[in-house]
Amino acid sequence: MAYQSLRLEYLQIPPVSRAYTTACVLTTAAVQLELITPFQLYFNPELIFKHFQIWRLITNFLFFGPVGFNFLFNMIFLYRYCRMLEEGSFRGRTADFVFMFLFGGFLMTLFGLFVSLVFLGQAFTIMLVYVWSRRNPYVRMNFFGLLNFQAPFLPWVLMGFSLLLGNSIIVDLLVGHIYFFLEDVFPNQPGGIRILKTPSILKAIFDTPDEDPNYNPLPEERPGGFAWGEGQRLGG
């Protein structure tokens, strides 16, 4: 019974949040079990482009360090704000959400070429938190029962906390702000245009196509199927 409840709860998580969070947990579990090592996962441009270890472009976003406080902290925030984004402003727009992942990952990889970051998962989490907080400016937040503040200040609080943990915050804020500006701010400015457009191939893969209101279904597609035996009355 407990297994069924847990399975049901797991399947209720939106697909992108479920896939990413699961991949992060499984990657960490594989490292803990010594099936793989962090040296096989970290971001290294030379190994990627010269030795064609392409998987590092993805795996560096999946490892948050060994199981401990830092890992749990990041997993809680990743799961919470990734899910709230997908169920909130991206509800019914899975392709747009995937495109945000790809755009953010691309920018972070680009910045990673110039700064000494070997794992970009935490920066990606901050990006998700930043976008959510800017889209929910009036939500009151409580940070571990110590601080009360409005949602837009949450990324700054997290970055201060990251500094205390000795983490870099160079990329964390930049990417989230760039995405938010291009998606939410610039298109609404006088003369502004929407630069970020989700490719149609992503929409075809992830989004359910809209129903055509003028579509007339075939008889076999209508409720009840064919009207077998229906006819005109003789002599009528």
Q: In angstroms, how far is CA 167 from the centroid of its own chain?
A: 22
Predicted local confidence at residue 213, as pLDDT: 54
DSSP3 helix / strand / coil % (the chain, rounded to 5): 60, 5, 40
User: CA angle at residue 84 from 125 to 149, to 5 degrees?
Assistant: 75
Q: Which residue has the higher pLDDT, 73 or 110?
A: 110
Backbone angles phi, psi at 142, to 5 degrees: -135, 120
- C-alpha to C-alpha distance for 155 and 129, rounded to whole angstroms: 6
Q: How many CB atoms lie within 10 A of CB 91?
A: 11
Banded model confidence at residue 214, pLDDT cuts 50, 70, 90: low
In CATH terms, 13-206 corresponds, of 1.10.3090.10, 3.40.50.410, 3.40.1360.10, 1.20.1540.10, to 1.20.1540.10
- C-alpha to C-alpha distance for 29 and 63, rounded to whole angstroms: 10
Q: How many CB atoms lie within 10 A of CB 92?
A: 9
- C-alpha to C-alpha distance for 126 and 106, rounded to whole angstroms: 15
Ordered by start, the domain boundaries in the chain are 13-206
Backbone angles phi, psi at 155, to 5 degrees: -60, -35
Q: DSSP character for 207? A: S
Predicted local confidence at residue 227, as pLDDT: 41
Residues in the chain: 236
Task: Assess contact for 113 and 48: CB atoms under 8 A.
Answer: no
Chain segment 10-65, per-residue pLDDT in tens = 889 999 999 999 999 999 999 999 999 999 999 999 999 999 999 999 999 999 98
Q: Which residue has the higher pLDDT, 27 or 145?
A: 27
- C-alpha to C-alpha distance for 47 and 180, rounded to whole angstroms: 32
Total-model pTM? 0.81
Task: Assess contact for 66 and 31: CB atoms under 8 A.
Answer: yes
Average pLDDT for 223-231:
42
